[in-house]
Structure 1
């Protein structure tokens, strides 16, 4: 298998795992123990003090065991989630599940995971401990092949849970025999300090002159990885001796504080206090202010929200750089540009400082105002060539948008509620394209309850909410909202509102199969949108007219409407509406018998949908391609696409029935395909399609090369870096044989055996025979007992 294939396979198995941008030091014992615990239990909780490395350890083990989970490894960072009610939805977002009208999120999670062999990591559970415990217990009860790794400062305390206390990194043995400089540098805590120091000072090394100070620093920091990494950065400005002296000062200061906290908690707090005091006053102020963000931020957001009252806007970039240098802010690469985030421990510290400053309310308002304006800007750029970039930016800032909405409704009073409702309505296309339809409806419903004034804002929010409800097939809720929006629009003379109400009323009618009344409403809406110069409304109306005319057999009008919609989109560089127009026009071209041209159009739309992460649009396009394959006699392909659609619609949280008039094509094509293949062969092909991941289904539909589906890929242990002779010797080391005994067993010179062992240590990056023994045990579990044991021996619940 090529390196590229391995990378692609692993990325599909391990969705959302934070990339390792620095070396992973030590933890081989813990990794081996977690493997063992996972083979015996379905829930493993990693506990320990903040900054001890629980998240990094969970991600590393997930990467190593990913092949044992054909349905994927999924990482859910709960650190920025403050509302326990949103916990199920946060996990659904990670699993890429669309909301489904009328169904509880927990039920959808349980159904989705019930037949899957997957690993879910719930990271930073401590602030949502009870809710995480309840959700985990419910999912494990419904999904017998599911396994969960949780990281928390305390166990979840549910049945079948196995815990591993993640301790600080090993330190040199206190009072032990003196160690050489080389041996000291291989002790895990010291090795981490050295490697992070080398990132700051490339020539740094442990020497006879600094060895005592390095060892004392690591001891003072109790071997806590976060503490060590923060300290090592300070070598940019301080000598090792100066660093040690300042650590001593901090710990003495802490000794006068509370004795209730554990020593490790006191040490970490002391380190964060000390890091804070090493910052300049403007850096401290910025640290406190950026803690108001959720999940991350970019430079524009930092400048807009955090400047003023002591920080000049033009100074923000230098202050951000200073906090990055001090490892307070972490720098992440993202497609739109560089973003920054705070570790949760650092963020909570900053929030405490912000509360002490008395600026918390003001910063909360600035944050909400910024993201309210951002949502408005995104709406303004909706129908432009910048659409894709804006939608991607909103996805990256989803946690901030959620936090801003919560702040509006919880702390803003009546004006805040109006701002929240306006923001939720402006985010219409964010809710539609980022699998947050149900959450969008939740915010809109909340705002409509708080803002009962029958004005333009309420009227617009009502039709926005109604469109989201229609996407989920919830006509019973959508139609009354459209009625109220119409009444407000008529009373106030809101022509644009009335145009959208008419448009979506036509959709509701068409979904029910009433194409005649729907066409009249679409035509009326089109005329109104043209009069108002609203191109978005024009394109939506034209696309729906294309579908309706096609359904009625009026090919000339269908083609004219579809082509006009495409021309408007192309003139503006817009792609989301263009994808749907291509799908609608493709259906009509297919009905006329030109299946090759029709398929090309639908595939182009499908690529747009996939790039925008719009899996509702992906599902519609896959449906149409399945119908075309069936009509062309490629029944095996059609059956596979229909099988893939079962998973797509489940993930989206809706069904084709929301396009009610199109179900006729679906039913006819399924019947034709099943009759042509025979029921057994149809079921086999459909099952093959159902095993495709969403990405694989997309690649298969557009007929682009894709790697072997995860569901069909057998577990393969990673290739060993050792030669056959070195592997043989490593096993003898694991049996406890000495160099002399190994030489006698293999009939080789003792020096030869010693040379082989040195090569083994070098290749594996180890420094002791015990590490070789652990590695051999891990390889045995990975190749034999680990994966096969899960299949044959039911673990504890």
Structure 2
């Protein structure tokens, strides 16, 4: 698994919010889940809502993370409304930025194929069938992967181990010397801790112990119920709380002494919490249930105000719901966000539907996120670019919900197309090309929608396809965009840009230059500065590759002059990196290094791995030319994991430089020494690669032994295939020798090329030969590490 995408060390748990309250009890369950994970590759925690499945899964993941060098990854599924978003959501959580047209499931399998990792699939119940199919596919293909799922029902596949998560015990074991002879159980301890948080000084005493025990029994030991009840101690004593719980549950059971089913217990408590809210607080609870993945105060004010809620009162109402433990407050880098626990969100949604308010609030929600995306699009080329990028990342679930609403409402297709089009640079910067294209495919199927909106959307759709090198799909889409947008000058300018970009990627440089020149002239005529900057960058690149160096440098400089006053980072970073290539070709290695390092710093807030890889690669070429082949070899090695992630080097027009550099380094160092240094670079984390590229601090390099190196990055089967390639066998012959389908053999060859960063079978054969020579050499020289 590619570790380079992570800025931390291997074995860390990812995507898990910090615990804002203590974790109480569950010793037996934690031990049992750990035991089950040791004997089974799929463990599912089942149980009613509010019993604590997610907290238990996260706690176990945190405790066992050292056993998973490729990470423990939390994938939250509650916010997904569509089954076809399941695999993309997992890819997104794992930070996979593949730009190929391979099916996302295959991309995910390739990424996890050799990974010793743990995936926590949280809240599977509404996608239980799809989660079962995904889990089975991953476990079959990825032998060292383990999955921990939480769901109200088991996934139901072979080899699954399930643990029904019980309520917390109310009493513990007998304790000598205590007044009652019985120790407080985890439920009582949880109540006491949460009570102390809302009533400072609260403590469990002999006077209140029995009352607290009875409260916890009344709540069936459900953690969510206990936490909701403990909040009432702000205004009630424990005795009053018990009396009111007894009254509420007696009404539900008509005085029966029978135990109330747990789901009714929790429902009754949430009913009570709802009933104790003011009318405006109830309305806010209902309305925030339409949000997916949380919200901030601005969103609450915009979507939830009106019809009984004054905008100026929203802040106080939010504070009230936080105080009542209905809303959960979460700290983010520059803002505070709020979310509803899934059980409480579902309750609020039921109330909203019952009041016939769902469609109205959903429309407000859609309007808000339509406007948010439009603002982000307008302001992308400016000083708030990074802030907008991070904000859209936080709002991804809500954007999906807004697009879903447009998709399900025929008269809203134009709005959906405009919103998806406005996300152009977000789809690109967040490496969500697959998802962006999928939304366009769905929205464009509808017959409704104005020609202008469709034309603009088709142009963006084609652009995303081109960035995936899916030229066969892009061409008819682009032609339709031209036809529908014949009266839309900006659409026509952008169509020329997309066509020119496609020609550039396909190395048709003369055609690329002509198309991009036309696109540039059109954008200039419209005064569209963002389009001018974007197109300048690629016209200059085409000129550079055509050998028109002076013209290329002039256009690069013009692009930078346009971007710098706006404090843009995205276009500047790419312009600097490609200008660095031109400067390197001219022989100014010092300035080329400065340009690439400046580009890296601009890219860091976006976690732009593809752009970062381009800069690192150019720095490797520079190091080779500076007479530092060891540094160059490490940098080339550091690239391998990134290329594996993204499906191979995307800039095919730079292939000859890539191959020349590697040949030069191998010739200088010799095969064994190159391989040793290459493997050292492969071991860098993303943060270490960046630090090494920028020469910031020291990167600790561990020398790679011959035994470690002989293992190679390939799986056992891929190693077999590599050896057969070295014997000169074709894909058809390899398939026959291994008794597999030819397509399977072809897939192995593609993965070998990608993992090794090679572009030909001859390179694989040479690599195998070098490994064989090295294995037969008892004392290969030149193994010393570098710091």
Q: TM-score range, shorter-chain basis?
A: 0.7 to 0.9
Tell me which residue corresponds to 1:615: 609
Contact 2:10 2:71 in 1 (8 A): no
Q: Deviations over 1:664-694 (max 9, x none)?
A: 2112112222222223333333333334344
Distance in 1 (CA, whole Å) between partners of 2:649 and 2:531 is 23
What is the CA distance between 1:14 and its match in structure 2? 1.0
Tell me which residue corresponds to 1:340: 338
1:16-27 matched pairs, under 5 angstroms = 16-27=15-26
The 3 A distance-change label for structure 1 pair 517 and 235 is: same
Q: 444-453 or 425-434, which moves further after superposition?
A: 444-453
Q: 480-489 or 118-127, which moves further after superposition?
A: 480-489
Paired residue for 2:666, among 674, 681, 685?
674
1:727-742 matched pairs, under 5 angstroms = none
Q: Does 2:592 correspond to 1:598?
A: yes
The 3 A distance-change label for structure 1 pair 705 and 140 is: farther
Tell me which residue corresponds to 2:236: 238
1:74-93 matched pairs, under 5 angstroms = 74-93=73-92
The SS at the match of 1:282 is: helix
Contact 1:301 1:370 in 2 (8 A): yes
Contact 1:46 1:151 in 2 (8 A): yes
What is the CA distance between 1:338 and its match in structure 2? 0.6
Distance in 2 (CA, whole Å) between partners of 1:130 and 1:711 is 47
What is the CA distance between 1:602 and its match in structure 2? 1.3
What is the CA distance between 1:262 and its match in structure 2? 7.5
Tell me which residue corresponds to 2:470: 474
Distance in 1 (CA, whole Å) between partners of 2:461 and 2:541 is 23
Tell me which residue corresponds to 1:656: 649
The SS at the match of 2:149 is: strand
Paired residue for 2:191, among 190, 193, 196?
193
Tell me which residue corresponds to 1:434: 430
What is the CA distance between 1:99 and its match in structure 2? 4.1
Q: Deviations over 1:591-645 (max 9, x none)?
A: 1212222122112212222211222222222222222223223323323333332
The SS at the match of 2:281 is: helix
What is the CA distance between 1:286 and its match in structure 2? 0.8
Tell me which residue corresponds to 1:406: 404
Distance in 1 (CA, whole Å) between partners of 2:23 and 2:7 is 21
Paired residue for 1:513, among 500, 507, 512?
507
The 3 A distance-change label for structure 1 pair 600 and 138 is: same
Tell me which residue corresponds to 1:142: 141
Q: Deviations over 1:231-278 (max 9, x none)?
A: 111111111111111111221233259999982212111111111111
The 3 A distance-change label for structure 1 pair 146 and 261 is: farther
The 3 A distance-change label for structure 1 pair 619 and 433 is: same
Tell me which residue corresponds to 1:52: 51
TM-score (norm 1): 0.84
CA RMSD of aligned residues (A): 2.5
TM-score (norm 2): 0.85
Paired residue for 1:247, among 245, 248, 255?
245
What is the CA distance between 1:88 and its match in structure 2? 0.7
1:576-587 matched pairs, under 5 angstroms = 576-587=570-581
The SS at the match of 2:171 is: coil
Q: Deviations over 1:88-115 (max 9, x none)?
A: 1110101111244431111111111011
Contact 2:8 2:686 in 1 (8 A): no
Distance in 2 (CA, whole Å) between partners of 1:276 and 1:264 is 18
Contact 1:46 1:165 in 2 (8 A): yes
Q: Deviations over 1:187-246 (max 9, x none)?
A: 321111111111111111112332221111111112211111111111111111111111
The 3 A distance-change label for structure 1 pair 9 and 477 is: closer
Distance in 1 (CA, whole Å) between partners of 2:526 and 2:475 is 24
Distance in 2 (CA, whole Å) between partners of 1:215 and 1:261 is 16
Distance in 2 (CA, whole Å) between partners of 1:706 and 1:438 is 37
The SS at the match of 1:163 is: strand
Distance in 2 (CA, whole Å) between partners of 1:178 and 1:105 is 60
1:116-515 matched pairs, under 5 angstroms = 116-172=115-171, 180=178, 186-255=184-253, 263-410=261-408, 412-413=409-410, 415-451=411-447, 455-490=451-486, 492=487, 494-515=488-509
The 3 A distance-change label for structure 1 pair 665 and 568 is: same
Q: Deviations over 1:421-463 (max 9, x none)?
A: 1100001111111121110111112222225667222221122
Contact 1:692 1:711 in 2 (8 A): no
The 3 A distance-change label for structure 1 pair 324 and 164 is: same
Distance in 2 (CA, whole Å) between partners of 1:698 and 1:527 is 37
The 3 A distance-change label for structure 1 pair 10 and 46 is: farther
Q: Deviations over 1:737-785 (max 9, x none)?
A: xxxxxxxxxxxxxxxxxxxxxxxxxxxxxxxxxxxxxxxxxxxxxxxxx
Tell me which residue corresponds to 1:770: none
Q: Deviations over 1:570-601 (max 9, x none)?
A: 11111111111111111111112122221221
Tell me which residue corresponds to 2:750: none
What is the CA distance between 1:373 and its match in structure 2? 0.9
What is the CA distance between 1:547 and its match in structure 2? 1.4
Q: Deviations over 1:526-548 (max 9, x none)?
A: 22211111111111111112212
Paired residue for 2:541, among 532, 544, 547?
547
Structure 2: stretches of 5+ with no match in the other structure:
1-5, 705-787
Contact 1:454 1:488 in 2 (8 A): no
Equivalent residue pairs, number: 699
Q: Of the two structures, which has the highest relative contact order with CA contacts closer than 8 Å and spacing of 6 or more?
A: 1
Distance in 2 (CA, whole Å) between partners of 1:652 and 1:586 is 23
Structure 1: stretches of 5+ with no match in the other structure:
1-6, 713-797
The SS at the match of 1:656 is: coil
The 3 A distance-change label for structure 1 pair 182 and 232 is: farther
Tell me which residue corresponds to 1:686: 678
The 3 A distance-change label for structure 1 pair 28 and 310 is: same
